Structure 1
Amino acid sequence: MLNKYPLWKYLMLIVVVVIGFLYAAPNLYGEDPAIQVSGVRSAVVDNSTLDKVRAALKEDGITAKSIAVENGLLLARFSDTETQLKAQEVVTKAMGDDYSVALNLAPATPAWLRDVHASPMKLGLDLRGGVHFLMQVDMPEAITKAENDLQTDLRTNLREEKLRYTGIRRIGEGKIKVTLRDDETAEQAETFLKKSAGTDYQVDRDGKDVVLTLTPTRIKEIREYALSQNITIIRNRVNELGVAEPLVQRQGTDRILVELPGVQDTARAKEILGATATLEFHLVDTQHDLGDALNGHVPPGSVLYKSRDGRPVLAEKRIMLTGDHIQDAQSGFDEYQRPQVNIKLDSQGGDMMSRATKDNIGKPMATVFIEYKPTGEKGPDGKPTLKKVEEVIQVATIQARLGRSFRITGINTPQEAHNLSLLLRAGALLAPIQIVEERTVGPSLGAQNIQDGMNSLIYGSIAILIFMAIYYRAFGLVANLALVMNVVLIVGIMSLIPGATLTLPGIAGIVLTVGMSVDANVLIFERIREELNAGVGVQKAIHNGYSNALSTIADANITTMITALILFGIGSGPVKGFAVTLAIGILTSMFTAIVGTRAVINLIYGGRRVEKLSI
């Protein structure tokens, strides 16, 4: 029978509508000003932390809407930003340096919606407000570090090959000169180094001197690795700020773009993102007296560190391995269900660790965490200066000869193991980074952008609704219902997609799809009118109208979808935001215009004897 849908199609439509409304609903509840408390390194957020925060707030007479610990973080919600700022100051003072207290905006989604994993759309920097940083990687420092590593490897390899040298030094950017004892040894060293050079460096000899020059390919690899590694580190550090949907991406050959929507504490963001960190593994010096070192008599080949709890650690100055060679670090448990961290090195790092530990089984090894933190002052060249902070994060006994994979045990809690694995993954920073550009978008400006965007959507929708209702009468009302459903589906899908972020251009994409969604119905309705004017029966006219317009609608939307995909592929942030909402809007508008309106029309007119249509 013409214009009759089977039951399963109506059920499918109902399911889609319910899901759309369900996942779009959290956007109606807004956000609460909040503070987020997270443990720094080995500190753990638990019920005792919760009691301490409650006591601090109660003592200062600050009332919180709610305080809860979830997934190792404490989140306290407040009724306004003034209370939020006061609470942050109080809690920061009460918790000390072991905890990070960050400002945040927490969705006020009801618990029943959170139970089905429904959450509001993520808003971009231009809508929510926040901070924008452009960070530059110190590439010359990355190349210098690679040169230092090469010198260390040369000393070790030449010593193992029993090729005696009198000096190894840097003679220029990317150039290392090795001076051998005589011409014959230099020739042997040249042969050996050429075999192991690969594409990393070029080997040239001049008498007793052998010069190694880093190849352009190797220099490019160093630059690429330094940039990609810094991006990974910054993403890990952003997690400490509690940002829902940060943007961290490469820009050019040596810069990183960071956008943190919703972040109000810009000083805290700069402190975390601007710090530079690395790792080093040293053998603990057990041959000399620690007491003498504490009295100022540190042996020439050793260095005195402090652990996080303040205990002194005397370690050998020679570096066994740096964090540059760590490929992965994961927290877990050993066979006795005690926390541990599993380390995986690259092939070069595995060889270095194997050589360093084969004769040191049973000896303690210290993992030294080194940070370069901004001092707030500028040097003679006008660039911000950094201070070096070193501390031992772990002392472990070498139980066997280590290779590419080994584990660190003796960790107190699973949370400490998790934090340590994060430090190990994020600690291998090859070069310092500096913030070269900073912009702040205030929450009031973001709110104004949202208001302007919503006004354009509302006014445009009202104009379309009135036109469709007047021009197409009953069929126009059905198209209006589909239009409203289209907007709901777009919002629901944007809320469902984990990586989707709504920006001001994204709102423009939604406004555009509002017009496009009724465009399909206009084509269908005009086809139906043509059929009726040609004397075709009502049921046949409806059927032919939808069937004949389908190919035209599909062609128009497919070409627009191709454009949206191209914009997403080659565009920048704002253009991508427009492309995402445009692509989603195309899919939802086709569904509501073709399937949705057809279902309603069939429900009203299908299978009935109708003499005239209100169209």
Structure 2
Amino acid sequence: MLQIDLWKRILIWAVVVIGLLMATPNGFYERVEARNDAVAALDLGYSGNGLEEQAALWPSWMPSSLVNLGLDLRGGAHLLAEVQVEDVYETRIKSMWPEIRDMLREERATIGTIRLQPSDPDKLVVKISKPEQIDRAASLVRGLARPVISVTAAGQNDIVVSTNGDTFTVQLSEAEKLATDERTVQQSLEIIRRRIDEVGTREPTIQRQGSDRILIQVPGIGSAAELKEIIGTTAQLTFHPVVGRGSNPEANPGPGNFLVPDMENSTDVSDSSNVYYTLESAPVVTGEELVDAQPSFDQNNTPAVSFRFNPTGARKFGQYTAENIGSPFAIVLDDEVVSAPVIQAHIPGGSGIITGRFSVEESTNLAILLRAGALPAGLEFLEERTIGPELGQDSIDAGRIACIVAFAAVLVFMVLSYGLFGIFANVALIINVGLIFGLLSMIGATLTLPGIAGIVLTIGMAVDANVLVFERIREELKTAKGPARAIELGYEKALSAILDANITTMITAVILLVMGSGPVQGFAWTLMIGIATSVFTAIFVTRLMIVTWFERRRPKTIEV
């Protein structure tokens, strides 16, 4: 007998209603989006500027999840950045000098005095006063070598030490450079992702391209310049001992030191009031040991940034301040001295405050950059584009036209081919599209132009299952079976073909999702969701409508 249990009917219609409710906010996109942004701002403690009125634009009891629009639909910024991995070599080598210097000073009676010589940025050249002991000095430095942390470089060391007369040279090994490159790009990728997430942008695309490039696409952001301000700053925070202070930008800082301008210097280099600090190259503490940074105000109620170190950084910071009371130390941010206070007392807590001529917005952005972490190397932007909302609107309009044309063509075809049963299939097709958007909204997926193509393809594929069922019912009617038995057998015998066709397509979509990236994944997501909803509507929704109609009319004969 052709029948469906009551609980199954209730469950099927409940799924349909919930799916359509989840899809409803997308029909009022701008209103719901404004409401969601207002609610998020109110939750963060902001008020005024009409936030309460915007929060009331959509009923709180209604679903408010939206399908996120991708870069090609919403507009936004596109950047292709190249990580300057060579910058890390210089930092690594410079950080080794204090350890080498302290170790060789203990051997002064054997190797004589040591002096750091001018050299390339990625090398350390050290001269000793007893040339006959150069091999001894080089051997001691080789003892500082560590194994390279890499699967492909097992058993190799991170530094290479070579001698020449009364000098020896220290530089990174090729294996260590390759391992450093990999770590630097991965760290840059993660830090860029954290910085963009801190700003609260929707569904950015951040992925690696090649060995040292990163693709960044952020929908809804104003311009590429705005995006560069968020991620383009290295935000490298370090604390250095101050050797001296002057006004000559060409002054020789001496070996092991470097010259840094004060952040408050005027843009006129010839201004004699400009201040330049000579600092020791090796930092006392670095921003990598920061665990928190928050915008705040100093004792004069001017914007500042408070910070806190991890236990290691706090210990080093506390030890240095205890041993250097009365001496100045410099807080350096991206090669500029933010401030150079004199240490008044021991600071054991590992926390402090950065003051300067900040606005509230600048202190907030600086806190975000420091909290997200410092980029290990600079970025060179090879490609930048700003995609305006009007271009995104063109894509939406083109996608809408494609969907309407496909939708109308399928509706007309089904009615002409299958009459009343075609109308049932068309109602199920409308529900199917609603369920697709409901599921996309529920999982927070991003809809791109290829994603719209996936929906258009799904519309064409959605009636395949119904066509298989209806054709099978036709065949069963030719065998002189009654209408009820023909409908029941039509669904039973078409089920294997429906599942086979959709499972193979689902496997293809999964492969696209796993192996593809960006737009390909958007296409795969909508295709997978469309397959699931089309099978549900064909096997359950259409059948339920046909059974309900048949129970009420009880026709002696039917035409499909």
User: Which TM-score applies when normalising by structure 2?
Assistant: 0.76
| Matching of residue 176 in structure 1 with residue 176 in structure 2 | no
Query: For residue 148 of structure 1, what is the aligned residue in structure 2?
Result: 94
> Which amino acid letter does the alignment assign opposite residue 387 of structure 2?
V
Query: For residue 447 of structure 2, what is the aligned residue in structure 1?
Result: 502
**Residue 316 to residue 360, structure 1, CA distance change in 2 (3 Å):** farther
1:604 to 539, 543, 549: 549
Check the 8 A contact 2:78/2:384 in 1, yes or no.
yes
Shift in Å, 1:448? 1.5
Check the 8 A contact 1:283/1:363 in 2, yes or no.
no
Residues 431-580 of structure 1 aligned to structure 2 (within 5 Å): 431-498=377-444, 500-580=445-525
Distance 1:116 1:398 in 2: 57
Distance 2:137 2:524 in 1: 61
**Residue 284 to residue 171, structure 1, CA distance change in 2 (3 Å):** closer
Shift in Å, 1:476? 1.4
Query: For residue 176 of structure 2, what is the aligned residue in structure 1?
Result: 218
Larger radius of gyration: 2
Shift in Å, 1:277? 2.3
Distance 2:48 2:70 in 1: 22
Distance 2:230 2:365 in 1: 15
2:534 to 575, 589, 593: 589
1:422 to 368, 374, 382: 368
Query: For residue 198 of structure 1, what is the aligned residue in structure 2?
Result: 147
**Residue 343 to residue 481, structure 1, CA distance change in 2 (3 Å):** farther
**Residue 595 to residue 156, structure 1, CA distance change in 2 (3 Å):** farther
Shift in Å, 1:580? 1.5
2:232 to 274, 285, 291: 274
Distance 1:438 1:243 in 2: 18
Shift in Å, 1:188? 5.9
Residues 3-82 of structure 1 aligned to structure 2 (within 5 Å): 3-7=3-7, 9-31=8-30, 69-71=42-44
**Residue 443 to residue 74, structure 1, CA distance change in 2 (3 Å):** farther
Distance 1:607 1:161 in 2: 102
Distance 1:341 1:543 in 2: 71
Shift in Å, 1:510? 0.2
Residues 247-258 of structure 1 aligned to structure 2 (within 5 Å): 247-258=205-216
Check the 8 A contact 2:234/2:374 in 1, yes or no.
no
| Matching of residue 325 in structure 1 with residue 270 in structure 2 | no
Check the 8 A contact 1:506/1:581 in 2, yes or no.
yes
Distance 2:291 2:112 in 1: 36
Distance 2:190 2:544 in 1: 49
> After alignment, is 235-244 or 476-485 more displaced?
235-244
1:408 to 330, 351, 355: 351
> Which amino acid letter does the alignment assign opposite residue 325 of structure 1?
E
> After alignment, is 544-553 or 317-326 more displaced?
317-326
What percent of counterpart residues are identical? 37
Distance 1:136 1:153 in 2: 32
Structure 1: gaps (5+ residues): 39-64, 79-107, 333-338, 372-387, 401-405
Q: Secondary structure at the match of 1:582?
A: helix
Check the 8 A contact 1:282/1:316 in 2, yes or no.
no
Query: For residue 65 of structure 2, what is the aligned residue in structure 1?
Result: 119
Check the 8 A contact 1:565/1:579 in 2, yes or no.
yes
Deviations, residues 474-522 of structure 1 (Å, cap 9, x unaligned): 2211211111111111112222223x21111111100001111110111
Check the 8 A contact 1:509/1:582 in 2, yes or no.
yes
Query: For residue 270 of structure 2, what is the aligned residue in structure 1?
Result: none
Shift in Å, 1:447? 1.2
Deviations, residues 440-482 of structure 1 (Å, cap 9, x unaligned): 3232222121111111111111111111122222221121111
> After alignment, is 432-441 or 552-561 more displaced?
432-441
Shift in Å, 1:280? 0.3
**Residue 329 to residue 157, structure 1, CA distance change in 2 (3 Å):** farther
**Residue 341 to residue 278, structure 1, CA distance change in 2 (3 Å):** closer
**Residue 117 to residue 477, structure 1, CA distance change in 2 (3 Å):** closer
> Which amino acid letter does the alignment assign opposite residue 522 of structure 2?
G
**Residue 284 to residue 192, structure 1, CA distance change in 2 (3 Å):** closer
Deviations, residues 535-591 of structure 1 (Å, cap 9, x unaligned): 333333222222222221112111111111222222232222211111111111111
Distance 2:223 2:39 in 1: 21
Query: For residue 322 of structure 2, what is the aligned residue in structure 1?
Result: 361
Distance 1:358 1:587 in 2: 63
Distance 2:287 2:166 in 1: 32
Q: Secondary structure at the match of 1:245?
A: coil
Q: Secondary structure at the match of 2:125?
A: strand
**Residue 525 to residue 355, structure 1, CA distance change in 2 (3 Å):** same
**Residue 170 to residue 324, structure 1, CA distance change in 2 (3 Å):** farther
Query: Between Structure 1 and Structure 2, how many residues are aligned?
Result: 515
Query: For residue 84 of structure 2, what is the aligned residue in structure 1?
Result: 138
**Residue 421 to residue 440, structure 1, CA distance change in 2 (3 Å):** closer
Check the 8 A contact 1:283/1:315 in 2, yes or no.
no
Query: For residue 166 of structure 1, what is the aligned residue in structure 2?
Result: 114
Distance 1:531 1:442 in 2: 57
Distance 2:42 2:175 in 1: 49
Q: Secondary structure at the match of 1:30?
A: helix
> Which amino acid letter does the alignment assign opposite residue 408 of structure 1?
S
Distance 1:160 1:513 in 2: 75
> Which amino acid letter does the alignment assign opposite residue 361 of structure 1?
A
Distance 1:33 1:518 in 2: 32
Q: Secondary structure at the match of 2:235?
A: strand
Shift in Å, 1:21? 2.0
Distance 2:59 2:431 in 1: 20
**Residue 185 to residue 435, structure 1, CA distance change in 2 (3 Å):** closer
Deviations, residues 183-229 of structure 1 (Å, cap 9, x unaligned): 55752652463354322223445675444331223212322333233
User: Which TM-score applies when normalising by structure 1?
Assistant: 0.70
1:243 to 197, 201, 209: 201
Distance 1:66 1:303 in 2: 45
Check the 8 A contact 2:184/2:376 in 1, yes or no.
yes
Deviations, residues 219-256 of structure 1 (Å, cap 9, x unaligned): 12322333233334434444576632322222222222
**Residue 395 to residue 15, structure 1, CA distance change in 2 (3 Å):** farther
Check the 8 A contact 2:134/2:167 in 1, yes or no.
no
Check the 8 A contact 1:133/1:439 in 2, yes or no.
yes
Shift in Å, 1:528? 1.8
